[in-house]
Structures are given as C-alpha cells and as structure tokens.
Amino acid sequence: MLERIINGENFLGVRFFALGQRAGRAIARIDIRTPDGRSGSGTGSLVSSRLLLTNNHVLESADWARGSSAVFDFEDDLENKPRPTVAFQLDPDTFFFTNKTFDFTLVAVKTTALHTGTSLSDYGFNPLDDSQGKVTIGEPINIIQHPSGLLKQVVLQENRLLDLPEDPPGWLHYESDTMPGSSGAPLFNNRWEMVGLHHSGWPKRNEQGQILTVNDQIWTRDMGELAIKWIGNEGARVSQILQIVKAEQAAMDAGRQALVTELLTPPKTGTVVAPPVVEISTPPSERTPVERTTTLGVQSAVMQGCGRKEENKFEPKNGKGAVSRAVMYFLLRYPGFIDDKPAELQAARLQTLLQWHQAEPVSDYERHRNAAIHEKQGNRNPLIDFPDLATRINFGLGLGA
C-alpha cells in the first residue's frame, strides 16, 4: 500500500551509469581552427576506430578539419579536479565526408595523440546501428556535450523525445537542453545506443514555414534569437546518416570504402560502447548444469534459474509481463489457433496472464520492440500501447475448441 509506480516505470539498472560513463569517454570537444584564422568549438563522438561524427556546420570542409583537433578528457574527475586533456589531430586526408542537408560530417582522426603519445583506441567508440525504433516519443534523449566549449556535461532530466516527423523524414525533436558548442553532440536512449546527432534548436513555425516569436509574430533576424519561440531541439537520426553514407560508399576509393565498411558493421563486444545484449548473470563456467526431463517421449531442457516447470506448465522467473502481453496479443490476432486444452492454454489460465500483465508494467524494451516491429511489419501490440485494454477484452474468445 505504500509504494506506487507514478506515470510509468522509471526504474533503471545501476549499470546505466557505467554505460553512460563509457559512452562519454568517446566524446570530445572539437577545437575548430579555420584556414582564415577563425576559431570555435563543437562536440563530436568517435563512431568507429578511426572516424569521428560531428555537424557539417562544425567542420564544413576538409580545410577546416585539417587545422582542427579533438580534445578528450576535458572534464572533472570524481574529486572535482580537471583531468589532463588529450588532443588528437584530425585527419581529413584519410577520410572526410560531409552532408549539409542533414548537417553531419565524418572525419578520420590520427591514431596517436599530439603530445602524450596516447592511443586513440584507449577511448573506444559509440557504434552506429541503422535500425529504427530505438527510441519512441515520450522517452528520454540523453546528451553528452561540451556546451559553450565548457567541461563535458550530460543532460538526463527534462529530456523527452517530442517528435519523429514524417515530413521531412530523418529528423527527431526533443526538449533536452543544449547551448552553442553542443553542436555535433550524440543523442542516446536509456540503453546508451546512439539514436541521433544534435543539430540545432527547433523553433515554432507558421503554415508557411516562417519562424515565430514568443508572441506568435513572424520573426526577423534583427529581433535576435531570444525572441524566437523555441519548442525544443532538433537532431538528425542515425539511420538517416548511415543511409546517406552507405549510398555514397561505392564512389569512394578502397581505403575510404574500408573505413565505411567498419562503420556500418561494428563489433558487438570488446572495448567499444556497444548496444546492450541479453546477459547471463553468471559466467558459463559457473552455470548450473542443464536439467533434463522427459514428457511423452519428447526431451525438453529447462535451465535452472529461468523458471520452473511442473507437469505441462511452465512459469518464467522473469519477464512475466512481457510473456503475458505476447500470448494475449496472439489470441487477439490469431483467434482459434490456440486450443482450450491442458497441453495448450486452458481458459482458466487467462487470469494468470492478466495478473502477470498487471504486476509487471510495460517496459521501455517492449515499447522499443513494438515500434521496431511496426516499422518493419506495420502492426503493433495494442496491449503495449494501451495496457488498460487488457481488463476490457474477453481473451477466451480467441481460444479454439
């Protein structure tokens, strides 16, 4: 009676912090030095063993990149003292690719630091995944950045994804805070998968596409940026960036093609920051041996710790809510394919599924998976989008004879 989940589940495993710290290690301040003597700063992230991703307006040409550098460890340590920074020269002669429409630049980085001899591989990288559905509207967009060129900082609050527009496609909108210098910062979901590249503020516009002021008047440059009615921020989606690079790969020379191939096919293990995989709580050498049972002459394996099996019933130890929603969805979409029999699913057990559904609310993983399935197949599980529907549906009608 004393504890409640308010407005959705907000629990995160404590490994969230370790993964975020590892993601942040591959993020650098870009010190810009143009051929005509101008200077500035932005943010960028290593996305492969050699390539760094930032905005086109941070590094708009190879000449800009040639005089610029990526500065890592520009941050405070646990004692609130500045870490020694490590600078790497950018290497546009090895690789440089930019796209002004979606405001991104990929540039190679020298493998050895300018003054310390540190290896670039010490910082790992944030791999890019071209699949869609990694984040859904209303979920957090976490940003690690160098706002105004200052020490590395992270936005973890008031940071919802606001929109994934269809027209034009390839962008995402969010309310996470940024400042000048944040340009080129990577956008992460709560699993620290990179989902986008921060680009600029997202202002309110009228039907003609004109920017509006806080008083809903047409904005002009002489009014200054503070007069704009800002809705949030805007970034390019990772899937869009990779689609553009992949389309241009064939026109590159062999060396650049190899770097793009590495970008498009990142390893899933090692020192890199990789999308989480299903983990086993104990190493293989310490796992309890598989228990085997025989039923009706058919041998089945039950891993101890996964759940318990009694007669012809199996109860999972974890993920009961997700299991219940999957089974009830099957009854909705394919009525009559599951029979009301002891060997399949008796109507009396539907109450157990509803109990599991109510005891374990919909998770972020289920929402991501639902969005990804919809992207590929065009169908969704309504019990994930609208959990309250479960108590209003007679799932027994989906059972066969």
The per-residue pLDDT for 140 is 85
Q: Is 345 contained in some domain?
A: yes
In terms of domains, do 322 and 214 share one? no
In terms of domains, do 212 and 351 share one? no
In terms of domains, do 90 and 156 share one? yes
| Integer Cα distance of 102 and 244 in angstroms | 9
- The pLDDT profile of the chain, 401 residues, written as one tens digit per residue, is 555 444 555 667 788 888 999 999 999 999 999 998 888 889 999 999 999 999 999 999 999 999 999 999 999 888 888 889 999 999 999 999 999 999 999 999 999 999 888 999 999 999 999 888 888 888 888 999 887 777 888 877 667 788 788 877 888 888 766 666 688 999 999 889 999 999 877 677 788 778 788 778 888 888 776 677 767 788 899 999 999 999 999 999 999 999 999 999 987 644 455 444 333 333 333 333 333 333 323 333 343 445 555 555 667 767 888 888 888 898 888 888 888 777 777 787 888 888 888 888 888 778 878 888 888 788 899 999 998 888 888 888 888 76
User: CA 161, 199, 73: angle at the middle one, nearest 5?
Assistant: 95
The per-residue pLDDT for 181 is 64
Q: Yes or no: say if 203 and 211 are a contact pair by the CB < 8 Å rule.
A: yes
Among 241, 264, 287, the domain-final residue is 264
Q: Is 366 contained in some domain?
A: yes
**Encoded tokens for 300:** 């089945």
Q: Which of 50, 68, 46 is nearest to 59 (CA)?
A: 68
Cβ burial, residue 208 (10 Å; 0-12/13-18/19+): exposed
The per-residue pLDDT for 212 is 82
In terms of domains, do 250 and 310 share one? no
Q: Yes or no: say if 273 and 23 are a contact pair by the CB < 8 Å rule.
A: yes
Q: Is 245 contained in some domain?
A: yes
The residue range of the domain holding 122 is 15-264
Q: Is 190 contained in some domain?
A: yes
Q: Is 197 contained in some domain?
A: yes
Q: Which of 152, 177, 188, 187 is nearest to 70 (CA)?
A: 152
Q: Is 102 contained in some domain?
A: yes
The per-residue pLDDT for 108 is 97
Q: Is 287 contained in some domain?
A: no
| Integer Cα distance of 193 and 43 in angstroms | 17
The per-residue pLDDT for 250 is 95
The per-residue pLDDT for 314 is 65
CATH code at position 182? 2.40.10.120
Phi, psi for 44 (deg, rounded to 5): -150, 165
- Classified as helix, coil or strand, 250 is helix
In terms of domains, do 60 and 162 share one? yes
| Integer Cα distance of 73 and 338 in angstroms | 57
In terms of domains, do 196 and 259 share one? yes
- What domain count does the chain have? 2
The per-residue pLDDT for 158 is 67
In terms of domains, do 211 and 338 share one? no
The per-residue pLDDT for 272 is 54
The per-residue pLDDT for 179 is 63
In terms of domains, do 226 and 79 share one? yes
In terms of domains, do 316 and 259 share one? no
In terms of domains, do 25 and 170 share one? yes
| Integer Cα distance of 148 and 183 in angstroms | 10
The per-residue pLDDT for 5 is 45
Q: Yes or no: say if 109 and 125 are a contact pair by the CB < 8 Å rule.
A: no
Q: Is 19 contained in some domain?
A: yes
**Encoded tokens for 213:** 């002021």
In terms of domains, do 207 and 343 share one? no
- Classified as helix, coil or strand, 238 is helix
Prediction pTM value: 0.65
The per-residue pLDDT for 363 is 83
Among 264, 287, 313, the domain-final residue is 264
In terms of domains, do 327 and 204 share one? no
User: CA 183, 186, 190: angle at the middle one, nearest 5?
Assistant: 140
Q: Yes or no: say if 350 and 396 are a contact pair by the CB < 8 Å rule.
A: yes
